[in-house]
Amino acid sequence: MMTLFSEIQRLFERTYAAVGINLEDCLIDDRRCHQLSRLAGATAVELSELARTFLRTADNRLYIGIYYSRWLIDQLEKNDPRAGISDANIQSLIAFVEEINHALHASLQFKEGLRAIAEEGFIRNLELQAQVDTYLVLLMFVAFFRKTQKTSLMDRRWLRFHLFQSKTPNAYHDPNLRGRYLETTELASSYTRYLDTLNGVRRIDEIRRFHSLDYDAKKTQILALKDREPGNN
């Protein structure tokens, strides 16, 4: 039986490209997470304890570690998103999907020759892409349980609240972390509003093109789209 993890990985691979490995094999336990967190430095202390993705390069290879806390897994097992999304599982599902997305896009970029995984632009690119992709995945989950197979305005508002508005970037003490999450959340929220205006085929074409851009190009595109919104002229 296919796991929720593998279903989400396959969905992303159908949208973008296959990574050539089963990312579920990259899952790590509490002990390894604590080891890698110590190696990651002081700022890692401020990152979520519920889910994390660790990236390291050595000998021209990319090493990935994906961590989920026991609590997060328990929440998804008690409230399986494949049976419906609600306030009981939405935040856990967001964290679950985002870490898979981080690992997948880091792998794809590494295959394309991008090796500077510690650079801020690389990290922000992963964060922005994850928020965009997670929003689209959540839309699919919600639509699946609607008789019309479509999402309503209320559905989208509910998803946006949990994905964008409920985040608290200002809670980070580290100014770089605070700036990273403030900026990427604002950009992702704006870009997904644009995606909501596209039909299914155009949306797929758009996100594939968007995925191919580096962070600065993504940011430039989103700001240009925002400038064209009514009331911004």
Return the closest-CA partner of residue 41 out of 166, 176, 161, 149.
176
Residue 147 — very low, low, confident or very high, per pLDDT cuts 50/70/90? Answer: low
Residues 6 or more apart from 155 whose CB is under 8 A from it? 139, 142, 146
Mean pLDDT of 54-74: 94
Residues 180/124, Cβ–Cβ less than 8 Å: yes
pLDDT tens-digit profile of 26-50? 999 999 999 998 888 777 777 888 9
Residue 72 — very low, low, confident or very high, per pLDDT cuts 50/70/90? Answer: very high
| Amino acid 144: pLDDT | 86
Q: Note whether residue 232 is domain-resident.
A: no
pTM (2 d.p.) = 0.92
Residue 116 — very low, low, confident or very high, per pLDDT cuts 50/70/90? Answer: confident
Determine the Cα–Cα distance for residues 122 and 116; give it in Å rounded to an integer: 7
Predicted confidence (pLDDT) at residue 231 exceeds the cutoff of 70: no
Region of residue 132 (left: phi > 0; alpha: psi -120 to 50; beta: else): alpha
| Amino acid 195: pLDDT | 96
Percent of the chain whose predicted confidence (pLDDT) is above 90? 75
Quickly tell me which residue has 């580096």 as its tokens.
214
Q: How far is CA 207 from the centre of its chain?
A: 13
Residues 64/107, Cβ–Cβ less than 8 Å: yes
Mean pLDDT of 102-110: 96
Determine the Cα–Cα distance for residues 187 and 219; give it in Å rounded to an integer: 7
Q: Note whether residue 197 is domain-resident.
A: yes
Predicted confidence (pLDDT) at residue 168 exceeds the cutoff of 90: no
Handedness of CA 82, 84, 88, 93 (dihedral sign): positive
Determine the Cα–Cα distance for residues 116 and 202; give it in Å rounded to an integer: 31
Residues 6 or more apart from 138 whose CB is under 8 A from it? 85, 90, 93, 94, 97, 159, 163
Cross-strand bridge partners of residue 68: 51
Mean pLDDT of 137-142: 93
Q: Note whether residue 44 is domain-resident.
A: yes
CA dist 123 → 6, 132, 142, 154, 189 (Å):
24, 15, 29, 32, 18
Q: Note whether residue 233 is domain-resident.
A: no
pLDDT tens-digit profile of 177-193? 899 999 999 999 999 99
The helix-helix angle for 4-15 and 120-144 (nearest 10°) equals 110
Predicted confidence (pLDDT) at residue 102 exceeds the cutoff of 80: yes
Residues 19/13, Cβ–Cβ less than 8 Å: yes
Q: How many domains does the chain have?
A: 1
Residue 230 — very low, low, confident or very high, per pLDDT cuts 50/70/90? Answer: low
| Amino acid 61: pLDDT | 92
Mean pLDDT of 168-185: 88
Percent of the chain whose predicted confidence (pLDDT) is above 70? 96
Determine the Cα–Cα distance for residues 67 and 110; give it in Å rounded to an integer: 20
Q: Note whether residue 231 is domain-resident.
A: no
Whole domain around residue 25: which residue ranges? Answer: 4-226
Task: Tell me which H or E stretch contains 111.
Answer: helix 90-111
Structure tokens given for 39: 């190696």
Residue 171 — very low, low, confident or very high, per pLDDT cuts 50/70/90? Answer: confident
Determine the Cα–Cα distance for residues 4 and 97; give it in Å rounded to an integer: 10
